[in-house]
Amino acid sequence: MNISLKLFRFDPEKDTKPHYDHFTLDIDPSERILDLLEHIKGYYDGAVAFRRSCAHGVCGSDAMRINGHNALACKVLIKDLQTDQITIEPLLGLRVLKDLIVDVDPFFDNYRKIMPYLINDEPLPEDGKERLQSVEEQERFEVSTRCILCAACTTSCPTFWANNEYAGPAAIVNAHRFIFDSRDRGAAERLRILNDRTGVWGCRTVFNCTEACPREIPITRVIAEVKNAINTGSLK
Ligand code: SF4
Ligand code: F3S
Ligand code: FES
C-alpha cells in the first residue's frame, strides 16, 4: 500500500519554528504506526525523535496525535486509519522537546499531587500479612487501575491546554483508584486537593479524554464519581 506521511519536526537547537517532513512510502497496511516511525528512522532519517519502549500497549510511552487523534503508536494499524494520508504530530498542551517528544513534567507533577499510593497507618491485621478486601470492594475501583499513564487523556482536554495546572483526567483517574479503595485512608485529603480551583471542577465533561484512552477507561464517569464524592461526602 502506498501512503503519504506528513511528520511533525522540530529541533529547538536548530529550528526557529516547527515544520513537516513529507514521505511517500510503500508499506504493509497491517504494520503499526510505530513500525512506520521505526522505518523512517532506520531508512530515511535517524534523527527523528519519538518515545517508545514496550511496543505492546503496556508502557504508555508512545502516545501521539495520529490524524488528529491521540493514540498509542504501537496500537494503531495503518489499515485502521482507512486512508492513505497519515499525519503524525506530538501531543498537544505540552512543550515539544524534539519532534514527537514532549515535556511530560507538568503531567507527572499533577499526578504526584494526588498522592498516588496507598495511605494507611493503622496496624496490620493480627496475622500481620495483608489487609483483605472483598471482590466487591476491589471492583469499586478496578476500572481506574488500568491506567498506564500515557497522557493521551490529559493532553486531549481543552481545560489542560489552557492551564497545565489543571489536575487533568489522568491524575483524577489515579486519585479515584485510591479514593475508592477500602484499604486506603487518604481519601479526605485527596478530595480536598481535587476540590481546589485546579481540581475536578475544571472538567466540563467534554469527553475527549474518554475517547482518547487506549485502556478504555470510562474517564468522564470516573471524574463524575469523584465530583459526587466531594459533593456528598460519600464513597459509595
Ligand atoms: Fe492513558 Fe487512559 Fe491513563 Fe489517561 S486514563 S493516562 S488515556 S491510560
Ligand atoms: Fe477534559 Fe475529559 Fe473533562 S476532556 S473537560 S477531563 S471529560
Ligand atoms: Fe509501550 Fe506503545 S511503546 S505503549
- The backbone region for 70, taken as left when phi is positive above 0, alpha when psi lies in -120 to 50, beta otherwise, is beta
Alpha-carbon distances of 231 from 38, 200, 226, 235, rounded to whole Å: 48, 11, 9, 11
Q: Residue range 144-167: average pLDDT?
A: 98
Quote the pLDDT of residue 20. Answer: 98
Q: Is 202 in the pocket of ligand 2 (CB under 6 A)?
A: no
Closest residue by Cα to residue 170 from 104, 86, 85: 104
- The domain 2-102 is classified under which CATH number: 3.30.70.920, 3.90.1150.10, 3.60.10.10, 3.10.20.30? 3.10.20.30
Quote the pLDDT of residue 129. Answer: 81
Q: Closest ligand to 157 CA?
A: 2
Q: Is 5 in the pocket of ligand 1 (CB under 6 A)?
A: no
Say whether pLDDT at 127 is over 90.
no
- 105-232 in CATH: which number? 1.10.1060.10
Beta bridge partners of 8: 20
The ligand 1 atom nearest the CA atom of 173: 5
| Gap from CA of 217 to ligand 1 centroid (Å) | 7
d(Cα 77, Cα 23) in Å, to the nearest integer?
18
The CATH 3.10.20.30 portion of the chain extends over 2-102
Task: Please list the alpha-helical segments (H only) found in 158-218.
Answer: 158-162, 168-179, 187-194, 208-212
Q: What residue owns the CA closest to ligand 1's atom 2?
A: 213
Q: What residue owns the CA closest to ligand 3's atom 4?
A: 57
| Gap from CA of 211 to ligand 3 centroid (Å) | 18
pLDDT, tens digit, 9 for 90 and up, residues 25-81: 999 999 999 999 999 999 999 999 999 999 999 999 999 999 999 999 999 999 999
Instruction: Select from 92, 143, 166, 213 the residue to mutate for testing ligand 1; criterion: most ligand atoms less than 8 Å from CB.
Output: 213
Q: Closest ligand to 91 CA?
A: 1
Alpha-carbon distances of 125 from 20, 89, 183, 185, rounded to whole Å: 60, 51, 12, 15
Alpha-carbon distances of 65 from 6, 23, 86, 196, rounded to whole Å: 12, 17, 10, 30
Is the pTM above the cut of 0.75? yes
Q: Is 101 in the pocket of ligand 1 (CB under 6 A)?
A: no
Q: Which three three-digit cell numbers place residue 38? A: 521505526
Question: How remote is the C-alpha of 153 from its chain's centroid?
Answer: 5
Locus of grid cell 499533577: 110
Confidence of residue 179 (pLDDT cuts 50, 70, 90): very high
